[in-house]
Amino acid sequence: MKKVWANLSGWWRCNRKWLLWTLGPLLALGVVATVAVVLWSWLSDVAGADPRARVTAVSTLVSVIFGFGGLVTLSLLVHRQVLQARAQDHVEAVAADAKYDASEKRANELFSKSVEQLGHDKAAVRVGALHALDALGQEHEGRRRAVMDVWCAYLRMSPAATSTPKVFIVGVAPAAATEPGPTWPAEELHVRATVQRLIAHHLRPPDKQRKKKNPKATGEFWGPMAIDLTNAQLYDLDFDHCRLGSADFTGVAFAGDAWFRGATFAGDAEFNMAAFAGVAWFREATFAGDARFGEATFSGDVRFGDATFSEGAWFRAATFSEGAWFGGATFAGDARFNKATFSRNVWFEQATFTGNAAADFAEARVLRPDRGHVLPTGWRVGATDGVTGLPLVCIPDPLATEVQEPGGT
């Protein structure tokens, strides 16, 4: 029985349009004829033998028939109009699908060609490919993640083993010139600077929206995005006021200054084992996740003034060759500087530790005790050996009135 019903259902789906258009008018005509016969019979009985009454009955019958016929005709016209509208919608949908498919095909071809051109031996071709990807990302929102990944991957590439003389750009600390440095030729440095500018441009909201918590994504501002620049070599990186998702800068070599002023990290910020050759600017930066700078090396000043750490701040075994400025910073999670080395000023004046957040400077060393250091409440600089003059270490301050254990308020 189910099979028979399935066959009938299939037959009906295949033939219903033909049946409706063929049998529909015949059925309507039959209905009209039946109504006419019944109505004429009734009117004849009512009119009787009076000629005038019979004329009136005939006139009434004709009017009813024409009225009913008009209704049927109108219904058919409406039905036809509906079918035509559906057909037009179908045509437009097919055209839209074809346009979308053509657009996607063009986008795929442009993406593939641009990625291929990034390996070209001429810098001008590579720069052109970068801007082609930029235009693709602005036009196609769904391609932005892939474009950003390609840009980051390009910056992660290591310099090829060539005999090209080492090239350093303006802003690199002189001391860095004596250490292993980049081997990129000047043209490649230009390409890489272009990549950095494009990434920063699309992660930085317009001036009018910088104070908004969630700026609206546009063709120019792509919204907070995760980036992976592990072990990349970056040059005078300017990420001021950028909105990042999770950010991985593990092992990155920052040549020149690194600018993250007012930047927002919506996810974890990984800077473990990163090397900063110039000044590291993080003033008023916001870290919504963990900020990890373990074993990082800072050759220039480090400026985290008025920064906000919503989770843990990890600076274990970090090396600060110049001043370390954390004045006015807010720590909602633990700040761990254990085993860190400070060559010059350590400045935590007006830094705030909220809730159960605590500062940990266990085994941290301060090489210049005469620099007027300001440590978080509960810590002070104390000598390990006053005879040999070994580096000083940070120790818990038993005289602290607010905190008696390692930590701060």
Higher pLDDT, 27 or 259: 259
Least confident range of 132-136, 207-211, 214-218: 207-211
Alpha carbon separation from 283 to 199, 262, 264, 280, 325 (Å, rounded) = 20, 6, 11, 9, 9
With contact defined as beta carbons under 8 Å apart, do 320 and 296 qualify?
A: no
**Structure letter (DSSP) for residue 390:** P
pLDDT for 325 beyond 60: yes
Provide the whole-model pTM.
0.71
Least confident range of 23-27, 102-106, 220-224: 23-27
Instruction: Note the pLDDT of residue 164.
Output: 39
In the chain, the percentage of residues whose pLDDT exceeds 70 is 66
pLDDT for 323 beyond 80: yes
pLDDT for 26 beyond 70: no
Instruction: Note the pLDDT of residue 168.
Output: 42
Residue 26: CB partners within 8 Å, gap ≥ 6? none
**Structure letter (DSSP) for residue 176:** G
Higher pLDDT, 174 or 273: 273
In the chain, the percentage of residues whose pLDDT exceeds 90 is 47
End-to-end CA distance of the chain: 81
Least confident range of 273-277, 333-337, 376-380: 376-380
Structural Rg of the chain based on CA atoms: 39
pLDDT for 247 beyond 50: yes
Instruction: Note the pLDDT of residue 169.
Output: 42
Residue 12 CB coordination number (10 Å): 10
Residue written as token pair 């990549």:
195
With contact defined as beta carbons under 8 Å apart, do 91 and 78 qualify?
A: no
Model pLDDT for residues 43-81, shown as the tens digit of each residue: 566 555 566 665 566 666 566 666 666 776 777 677 677
Higher pLDDT, 179 or 133: 133
Segments making up each domain of the chain, as ranges:
19-116, 123-396
Instruction: Note the pLDDT of residue 186.
Output: 87
With contact defined as beta carbons under 8 Å apart, do 318 and 292 qualify?
A: no
Instruction: Note the pLDDT of residue 380.
Output: 82
Model pLDDT for residues 260-306, shown as the tens digit of each residue: 999 999 999 999 999 999 999 999 999 999 999 999 999 999 999 99
Give the confidence band of 136 by pLDDT, cuts at 50, 70, 90.
Answer: very high
Label each residue of 90-136 as H, E or C. HHHHHHHHHHHHHHHHHHHHHHHHHHHHCCCCCHHHHHHHHHHHHHH
Provide the token pair at 215.
Answer: 């700026």
Looking at residues 339-366, what average pLDDT do you find? 92
Looking at residues 179-206, what average pLDDT do you find? 85
pLDDT for 160 beyond 70: no
Residue (of 155, 338, 343, 178) closest to 252 by Cα position: 155
Looking at residues 328-341, what average pLDDT do you find? 95
Least confident range of 160-174, 237-251, 355-369: 160-174
pLDDT for 38 beyond 70: no
